[in-house]
Structure formats: structure tokens, C-alpha cells
Structure 1
Amino acid sequence: MNLRRLFAVTVKELRQMRRDRITLAMIVGIPVMQLVLFGYAINMNLRGLSAGVADMANTSASRALVMDMVATGVISPRVSATAPQALMDQLRRGEISVGVVIPPDFEARRFDGREAVQVLVDGSDTVVQSAAIQLAQLPLDTTPTANVRPLGLGRGQIGVVSFYNPERRSAVNIVPGLIGVILTMTMVLFTAVAIVRERERGNMELLIATPVSSAELMVGKVAPYVAIGLVQTTVVLALGTWLFRVPIAGSLFDVYLAAMLLILANLALGLLISTRARSQFQAMQMTFFVFLPSILLSGFMFPFAGMPRVVQWLAELLPLTHFMRMIRGVMLRGASLPELWPEVLALAAFTAVAMAAAILRFRKRLD
């Protein structure tokens, strides 16, 4: 072992690493990103769940009870309704996560000790379901004074009704999300190395000599992977319904259409990465840099409502975030894609912007 030669090789690698800006950014960026995401953005103690209130009693006591619920910080009223059915429609569309129903005979139920309030919960997210149950355990004073029952309710007078996953099975929540995670990981990676692979294998010279335009080359690159993505979607759906008894409450056509939107968005993102990377290794590094925030911030592993507002804005830029809302809405809540039009529009816009940027960045040149 010659220490001088060993030192020379070590210095050479350090200099090469310094010239490789992407690798250098990964060395610093990945630890920083993980620290920030896990320490700052990931929060299992949910607060501010979007809620709707149907106060059909409209008394001073019912209004005070709603204020007590809001004071806990668990819910944040966004909409009001006149009937429970309106809240159920909003739950199905994903506009709210919790609905509070106060019946017209609230006062009589409160004095009789019967169930006086119902909390409707979107059980498609088990973490949200657990957080909403806290509303049924409010630490309210129930000791009567001067033969007058106080404003608070006794234990058992607030009932929680969980929709879409009453058994609270984790597989029901995880399997639909796995479709998005698998498609994100594979579609972005496959296309991220597409252009780089052509350059490394020497095929770029042949493509330069052909009359194929940049747009035709890009679209031709992603076309085969669309079918592959749909096959992966079918495999996950088949195994999920067979092994884990995951229901498909909505239209199967909507499920595949939502998967198609995510596939196209991920393929466009992968092509954009491919136009920036100089080697297949760099392409894989950049793919990991995109995949890690996607899986952590999309709502697949950790509840979206628990993230700070700034992180939520960042998560809105990720295709997987919008797909999670779509696929859980269709498969678990029975919603249709027209009802989830904001997520459809977001994925379509992301695909158009990413594909246009990839086409503009690609040049049929070896340098």
C-alpha cells in the first residue's frame, strides 16, 4: 500500500466530487431536507381540521358548544350547513374532514342526558379519525348547580360516526396511496434516465441524424410507460382488493383516469430531470431528491393537516399530493372526478408545464 498513490486517488475523487455539483448538493441537501421534514413539517398531533357545522338548534347553548369545540384547536369551521346530508356531501368531495351536527331538539337531549351531538368523520384517513374522536372527550364541567345543568355535555352525549372506514383498518388507507407512491417512484425514475441513457449508449448520434423533432422524441419516450403504469395500477388494485379487502366505492374508470393523470405528470417530471442530468447516476440522485418530499408531504405517511402552512404550499406543487386526494376520494368515499376537479386541474397544469419545460430544455446535440 503506497500512501502517496492512495492520497493522490483520494484527492482526485474529492476534486471530481467538487466538480459534480449535483452530488455535492445531495451530500448537504438530503440531510438538511430530512431534518427539516421530520423535525418541522411532520406533526402527528393534528390541529385545525377543516370542519362543517350544521347547527339546527341555533340556541345560545348550541353556539357555545361549537365555540368550545373550536377552542380545543382540533377543528376549524370552514362551512355551515342546514342539514346533515349537506355535510356528508362535503365529506365525500373532500371539502371537509369533520362535520358537527346539532339536532333541533338539542336542549331536550342535553337535559335528558341523551346523545345531543354527532361528529361525522372522514374515516378514509385513520389519523384524522383518531384526532376527531378527541371531540367526544371534551373535558367539560358537567356538575349541575341550582338544579340547572351547565353548558357542557356529559360523557357519551357527543357521538362520533366514522364514514368510509368504520373498522379503522390501516390497509384501507394505505393501499390506495400505494398506487401513487409506486407510480411516482417508477415513472419518474424510468423517464429520468431516458435521455441520459441514449447519450451514454451513443444512440444520440442516430437520433440527431433523424428528422424526429424534440416534441416527437419526448412524447415517444413516455408513450410506452403509460401502459406500464396502468399495468402497475391494475396489479396494486387486484392485490389490494384480494388480500386486504380494500373497497372501490367509486367508478373503476375514474380510478384509472386518476392514475393516468398521475402517470403523465410523473413522466413529464422525469423527462425534465433527464434534460438536466448528465449521467444515469445523477438522474437517480435527482429522482430520489423529488421522491423523498413526495412521499413525506403528500399525506401518504403523515397527515397533511398537521403540516405548517408554508410546507402545505410546498406540498401543493407535488403531483402525488393531488393524486392522494383523488384516489382516496374515488376509491373510499365514492366521489367522482368532476367533484374533485381542483385536483384534476392541478395535475393537468403540472403535466403541461413540466412537459413544455422538458421540450424547451432538450436539444438534439451531444453537448
Structure 2
Amino acid sequence: MYERLKAMLIKEFIQVLRDPRMRFVVFIIPAVQTIIFGYAVNTDVRHVATAVYDLDNSSQSRELADRFLKSGYFELTERVSDEARARELIDRGEVKALLRMNHGFGAGLVGGRGATVQLILDGTDSNTAGIVLNYAMRIVNGYGSQLQLAAVKRAAGRTVPVRGVELASRAWYNENLESRNFFVPAVITNIVFIITMLLSSMAVVREKEIGTIEQVIVTPIGKGEFILGKTVPFVLIGFINVALVSLVAVFWFEVPLRGSLLLLFGSTAVFLMSSLGIGLLISTISRTQQQAMMSAFFVIFPAMLLSGFAFPIESMPEPVQWLTYLNPMRFFLVIIRSIFQKGVGLEILWPQLAALAVIGVVILTLAIARFKKNLS
């Protein structure tokens, strides 16, 4: 058995690694993709292109505009002087925010009547618009609180500071609330799932397409040995990809890795049961490698969308939320992010690992059963 399995493993490694382009795709592309994802997938909003339409031009209106521009979130593109130009900038997409203060803004504040400032946002990207609106509300509220405090001091005739309620906030795990720390570890899930599933989806169908499956059938190799010989090389490739992407995440993007490396690779092994099982199942029902690749892509994109990689599962419709429990990427994403950011252990992550194990066993069983049917 050992010699048969050894021969099968050598054959698969030669098949996968003999092409220099395939070696590049398997070992170099994951690191490149991680770097691209790390810079591209970023929900931190900075330097929002902003136009100021100040009809009042008072010291109060100028001070508020300066607060926006000095906050680091807003970047002045243009100071407009008429309605048509303001609309044109928004329509052309040259600015994402327009700060408008009407006549009487300063007089209203000085007279104690209050004043209204208008922020017009480009709502094409609702997520960015919501974040920008939150920034603007914090700036305006801070300015309003300062004016109220100054008014209280004048009314009391004192120069002693008047203290109010202060919020002392602290974010655990991701102290600076950097989206890169959230997204980069999740790239491990995507890359490992895509590469291992694509490779395994073409493993059996390649034998059928080039006509060697009949030779495999007549050899003394057993069904379990054949499956092991097909999957073990991809397991090792999956581990190498995890190591490469983790190195890029930690040393290039400085994403903290607070958890156990042993748990990281152990959970990867459990996750690979699902990704390789799906690939083998696709391979056994496909007639050509092209058909297998197209079928794999039909699985990859829904799995990524329903994994919680970019969109919170809690915001999805309830029937879709139940559907995500069939997706192994959902559970592995929780594990990866928890290991990197929280540093928690098996006592916290065992439900996700148990779910991954169940899904992996079921999918692998279906794949093996389907392979047996093909042999018959």
C-alpha cells in the first residue's frame, strides 16, 4: 500500500508542478493577490474630495469649514460661488461632499438662534456616504458643543471650565479600527479555497480527459489510495499558501497574529476537507477540464458573497442567513479573523471547527461515493 500511495503522490506532484506557469500560479500569485487585496479592499475613508459653498463668509462659517478640512477626512477641491457650479461638481463626480452654509449662518450663532449647515453627499456608494456623514456629524457636534460651552461661560460670568459628560471609548483587538486588519486575514480563506478547489476539481476529470482513468481502474490501487493520492498534494499546497499569505500579512501589512500557529494550520486542515471535497465532487461529475473549471467558478463566487468576507451576514435576509450555514468559508473566516486579531483558542472556536468538520466529512463522503459510481 505504501509503495502504491507513494507512486500516486509522486505522479500528482509531477503533474501539478512540471509546468513553470502552474508553479507561478500556485506559489507566487497568492502572495501577489494578498498585496493587491490588502491595498484595494479598504473601507477606511480618508481625503474625501470636498467643495465648500460658503454664502455667509462669516468668521463662524469659515471656522466650521476649517474644522472639516483640518480633520484629515475631507480634502478641499474647490470653493464654489454659484449653485450651477456646485451641482456640476457633484454630477461629474469630482467631489463626494459639498459643504454649504447659507446667508445668516454666523448671525444666527451669535444671536443664539442657532444655524443650519447643509452637507450634500454623492450617495452612489452608500457605504462611503454613510461613513462620511458620520464624520461630518462628529465635527458639527463638536463645534456646536464648543459654542454652547462658550455661551454658558459668558452667561455665568466665569472663566472656570464647565465640564460635561465625556465618552471614553476603547476598541479591543483592532485598536485603530483599520479595515486592513479585518480584510487581509480573510484573504487566506479566499485564496486557499479558490486554489485548492480549482486544482482538485480538475484532478479526476484530467485522468478521464487524457484517457488514463482506465489505466488507474485496472491497477491494484484502491479507491482510498487513489483519493489520498489526489488530495494530499493539494493539502500541502494549501498549507504553503497559508504560510505565504500569513507572512505577507504580518511582515508587509503589519497585521498582528495574536493566536496559535498550530491552531491556524490545524483549522486549515479541517477547512481543506471541504474545499478539496467540493473540488473532487465537481471533478467526478464533469466530462472535461473546461467544464470542471466553469462549475468551480459557479461555486466560488456565491461562496465568497455568502461568507461574510465583505458583507455582514447579519444584514442579509433571514433565508439567506440560514443558507450560509452550508458554506464552509463562513466558519473558516471566523476562525482566521479570531486567530489573527483576538488570539483566542480552541475553547472559543470549537463550534466553528466542529461545523467545518461535519461539512467536510459530508462533502468528502459524497465525492468518494460519486467516484465509486464512475469506476463501476
User: Is the TM-score greater than 0.5?
Assistant: yes
Asked if 1:297 corresponds to 2:317, the answer is no
Asked if 1:260 corresponds to 2:260, the answer is no
Unpaired segments ≥5 residues, structure 1: 1-43, 45-125, 144-153
TM-aligned CA deviation for residue 252 of structure 1: 1.4
- 1:350 pairs, out of 344, 353, 359, with 359
Aligned residue pairs: how many? 226
Q: For residue 276 of structure 1, what is the amino acid of its counterpart?
A: I
Structure 1 stretches (4+) deviating beyond 4 angstroms? Answer: 154-159, 364-367
TM-aligned CA deviation for residue 182 of structure 1: 0.1
Tell me how far apart the structure 1 counterparts of residues 362 and 374 of structure 2 sit (CA, whole Å): 23
Q: For residue 210 of structure 2, what is the amino acid of its counterpart?
A: R
- 2:173 pairs, out of 138, 149, 164, with 164
Asked if 1:361 corresponds to 2:361, the answer is no
Larger Rg: 2
CA contact (8 A) 2:273 2:364 kept: no
TM-score (norm 2): 0.55
Given the superposition, is the C-alpha separation of residues 298 and 359 from structure 1 closer, same or farther in structure 2, using an over 3 Å criterion? Answer: same
RMSD: 2.9
SS in structure 2 of the partner of residue 267 of structure 1: helix
TM-aligned CA deviation for residue 159 of structure 1: 4.2
TM-aligned CA deviation for residue 219 of structure 1: 2.0
**Higher helix proportion:** 2
Given the superposition, is the C-alpha separation of residues 155 and 297 from structure 1 closer, same or farther in structure 2, using an over 3 Å criterion? Answer: farther
**Per-residue CA distance 1:329-353 (angstroms, 9 max, x = gap):** 1111111123111100011111111
> Which residue is 1:222 aligned to?
231
SS in structure 1 of the partner of residue 344 of structure 2: coil
1:52-91 aligned within 5 A: none
SS in structure 2 of the partner of residue 329 of structure 1: helix
TM-aligned CA deviation for residue 170 of structure 1: 2.1
TM-aligned CA deviation for residue 267 of structure 1: 0.6
Q: For residue 189 of structure 1, what is the amino acid of its counterpart?
A: L
> Which residue is 2:57 aligned to?
none
1:144-159 aligned within 5 A: 157-159=166-168
Tell me how far apart the structure 2 counterparts of residues 313 and 157 of structure 1 sit (CA, whole Å): 41
Given the superposition, is the C-alpha separation of residues 286 and 365 from structure 1 closer, same or farther in structure 2, using an over 3 Å criterion? Answer: closer
Unpaired segments ≥5 residues, structure 2: 1-42, 44-126, 149-162
Asked if 1:188 corresponds to 2:197, the answer is yes
Tell me how far apart the structure 1 counterparts of residues 353 and 165 of structure 2 sit (CA, whole Å): 41
CA contact (8 A) 2:303 2:327 kept: yes
Asked if 1:173 corresponds to 2:182, the answer is yes
Given the superposition, is the C-alpha separation of residues 323 and 155 from structure 1 closer, same or farther in structure 2, using an over 3 Å criterion? Answer: farther
Q: For residue 323 of structure 1, what is the amino acid of its counterpart?
A: F
**Per-residue CA distance 1:105-132 (angstroms, 9 max, x = gap):** xxxxxxxxxxxxxxxxxxxxx99xx8xx
Q: For residue 162 of structure 1, what is the amino acid of its counterpart?
A: A
TM-aligned CA deviation for residue 158 of structure 1: 4.5
Tell me how far apart the structure 1 counterparts of residues 301 and 270 of structure 2 sit (CA, whole Å): 20
Tell me how far apart the structure 2 counterparts of residues 248 and 163 of structure 1 sit (CA, whole Å): 14
1:1-367 aligned within 5 A: 157-363=166-372, 365=374
Between the aligned residues of both structures, percent identity stands at: 36
Tell me how far apart the structure 2 counterparts of residues 162 and 299 of structure 1 sit (CA, whole Å): 21
Tell me how far apart the structure 1 counterparts of residues 221 and 371 of structure 2 sit (CA, whole Å): 13
**Per-residue CA distance 1:290-310 (angstroms, 9 max, x = gap):** 110111111111122211211
